């Protein structure tokens, strides 16, 4: 079973940090005290995580990572959608993130676009009112029972 769980400020972040360490070789930072982390579990094992924080009028996403053995199964997509949904539910004016060049396609699928180039990273953003998490729109399945006519 796949499940997502939020860890608000002040929570035990050990599971979120286990993913961060495995994917980015990075641990806790000062911004974790001000952030909410989300962890995705497969059969009760943490396999993916990401972080949401507020800074200078924007919600920022960081440390979106999936364990290498678990990639390609839409778990990263679930983390991104959970983060965007949380930002949307806080009436975000805009959502921003820095991503390594080459990974931007993962984010542009959901409407994020480039706002600046920063060395080997790109800054991407989306205005809050443009966040659209309707999974049916981009789906090519015909005759799906979930499709609203």
Ligand X SMILES: CC(C)(COP(=O)(O)OP(=O)(O)OC[C@H]1O[C@@H](n2cnc3c(N)ncnc32)[C@H](O)[C@@H]1OP(=O)(O)O)[C@@H](O)C(=O)NCCC(=O)NCCS
Applying the rule CB under 6 A, the residues between 54 and 73 that interact with ligand X are 64-66, 71-73
The answer to the question of residue 26 lying near ligand X (CB under 6 A) is no
When binding is defined by CB under 6 A, the residue of 5, 15, 23, 54 that contacts ligand X is 23
Contact 59, 52 (CB under 8 A): yes
The answer to the question of residue 119 lying near ligand X (CB under 6 A) is no
How many residues are listed for the chain in this entry? Answer: 149
99 bridge partner residues: 122
Applying the rule CB under 6 A, the residues between 76 and 95 that interact with ligand X are 76-77
Can you tell me the distance from the alpha carbon of 48 to that of 68, in angstroms, rounded to the nearest whole number? 10
The answer to the question of residue 105 lying near ligand X (CB under 6 A) is yes
The answer to the question of residue 41 lying near ligand X (CB under 6 A) is no
Beta strands in the chain (DSSP E): 2-7, 36-42, 45-55, 58-66, 94-100, 113-118, 121-127
Can you tell me the distance from the alpha carbon of 66 to that of 46, in angstroms, rounded to the nearest whole number? 9
Q: Which is nearer to ligand X, 118 or 129 (CB)?
A: 118
Q: How far is the CB of 83 from ligand X (least distance, A)?
A: 11
* Binding residues vs ligand X (CB under 6 A): 23, 64-66, 71-77, 99-100, 103, 105-106, 109
């Amino acid at each position: 079973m796949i499940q997502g769980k939020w860890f608000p400020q002040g929570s035990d972040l050990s599971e979120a940090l286990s993913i961060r360490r495995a994917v980015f070789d990075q641990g806790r930072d000062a911004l974790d005290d001000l952030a909410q982390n989300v962890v995705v579990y497969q059969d009760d094992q943490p396999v993916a995580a990401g972080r949401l924080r507020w800074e200078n009028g924007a919600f920022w996403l960081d440390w979106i990572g999936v364990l290498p053995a678990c990639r390609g199964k839409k778990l990263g997509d679930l983390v991104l959608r959970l983060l965007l949904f949380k930002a949307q539910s806080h009436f975000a004016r805009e959502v921003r993130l820095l991503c390594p060049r080459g990974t931007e396609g993962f984010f542009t699928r959901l409407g994020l676009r480039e706002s600046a180039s920063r060395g080997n990273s790109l800054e991407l953003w989306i205005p809050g009112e443009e966040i659209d998490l309707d999974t049916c729109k981009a789906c090519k399945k015909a005759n799906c029972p979930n499709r609203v006519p």
